[in-house]
Each structure stands twice: as structure tokens, then as C-alpha cells.
Amino acid sequence: MKEVELKKYIAEEVSRIQPNEIHARIRALRIPHIMTTNYEYSLEGKPPKSNSSLVKEQLYSVFRCARHEDTTYWHVHGECRSPRSINLGYEHYGGQLQQMRNYVVTGTLYQTDKILKDSLEYRLREKQINYQSWLDLFFTTNVHIFGLSLDFSETDLWWLLTFRARLKFYKEAAVNNELFYYVPDKFAESSKFKLEMLQATGVTVVVLPYASPLAYYHLVLDEITRAAGV
């Protein structure tokens, strides 16, 4: 099977996923931004009518977003309606990481006047923040991560975590936001190495009791609601 055909098949299959009460509760928070590695639109409740990205990407997802009601949704690993963008395989992950590193470290080369092109590292030092990419949010706003295994194969996200830690602890860049990673207690011991890696990059690990998937995710959203004051 050709890669593009495989990605189209994946897009069709995951599009069958139906929104549930957890997705509805997340939407009800009305928070300004949600970042997701999901390809489908269960979080939004339905496919967005149009793309809100300042850069129209075909393959990678540095600027990929769509606005729905009061929230901008950032599909950081691609989305169903653009099957070529679905992150699949080390080649695609490597390309995604290259685009991310350019954005954060050296600046972008896109031929558009709609975005700031200086590197995010430079803009952090100069306090010139523009929420044009989900990467801006990752370095400047509090981020609550849940429902994501963060397997070590997700090299782009692990690079991002470690580079953020380098900026925060070793360079003169203003990185003052907090990152939280939620994990069920039943997986805490088996995930000990990964959780220690997260803590080493400055992520706060929050272990919550697990009675059932539904109960656990409601606990997570209770914690986020209290922390964010929403």
C-alpha cells in the first residue's frame, strides 16, 4: 500500500470515532486553546468548517489550527481532512521535528507577511509573543497534558520538552509557564522511568486514582478546572 493510501485509510477509520461526555465537558470549559495529537475531531464535536492557520501546511503541523466556538484547536500531529499531514513513521516525525526546531531555534522561512519569522527563542527574550503556532503556547502558557501516553517514539514532543528545559534553566529566555502531566495510579509504577524523565524536564507529574476510564478523566478535568479557575 502506498503511504498516501494508508494515511487516507487511517483518516477514514479514525473519523468514525464518536464524541463522548468527556469531549463535551472539555468543550464546555471554553478555554482559549486546546492542543491535540488526535487526527479526528471528537474534541470539537464535528469537523471545523475551515482552517484558521496563518500558514497553509500540506504535510507538517506547526501552524495547523481551526477555531470552533470560543476555542482554537491545534492538531499538532495532523488531521483527517488533510491525510498527508497525519504523522506516521520516523520520516514524517523527523520532518515535523525539523520544522519545529526551525520555528523555535532559527526562525521560519515561509513566504508570508502574516507571521513573525524570528525564532521563538529570540522572541521569548525580547518578549515578542504572538500566538501564531501551538509552539508559542507550549513555552508561554500553562499546559495540562492528559490522555497522551508520550511514548518515547514521539521524538518531536520529547525534543520539545527537553529544549524548553534548556531554555528555562540554562539560557536567558523567559520561560515561566508550567507543564502538568496526568497519569492514572495503576500505571505510575510501570511508567516510572518516563515520569522521572518528565520531572527532569520540569514537568509536574500528577498521579490520580483510577477506578474506570470515565471516572479518571472526570478527575483530571476537576483538577484542571481548579487549577485554571474555569
Tens of pLDDT along 60-114? 999 999 998 889 999 999 999 999 999 998 999 999 999 999 999 999 988 888 9
Per-residue pLDDT of 106-128, as tens digits, reads 999 888 889 999 999 999 998 88
Q: Considering just the CA atoms, what is the radius of gyration of the chain in Å?
A: 18
Range of the domain at 43: 3-228
| Cα–Cα distance measured from residue 144 to residue 221, given in angstroms and rounded to the nearest whole number | 10
| Cα–Cα distance measured from residue 15 to residue 78, given in angstroms and rounded to the nearest whole number | 13
C-beta neighbour count of 201 within 10 angstroms: 18
Structural domains of the chain, count: 1
- Does residue 230 or residue 125 have the better pLDDT? 125
Model confidence pTM above 0.85: yes
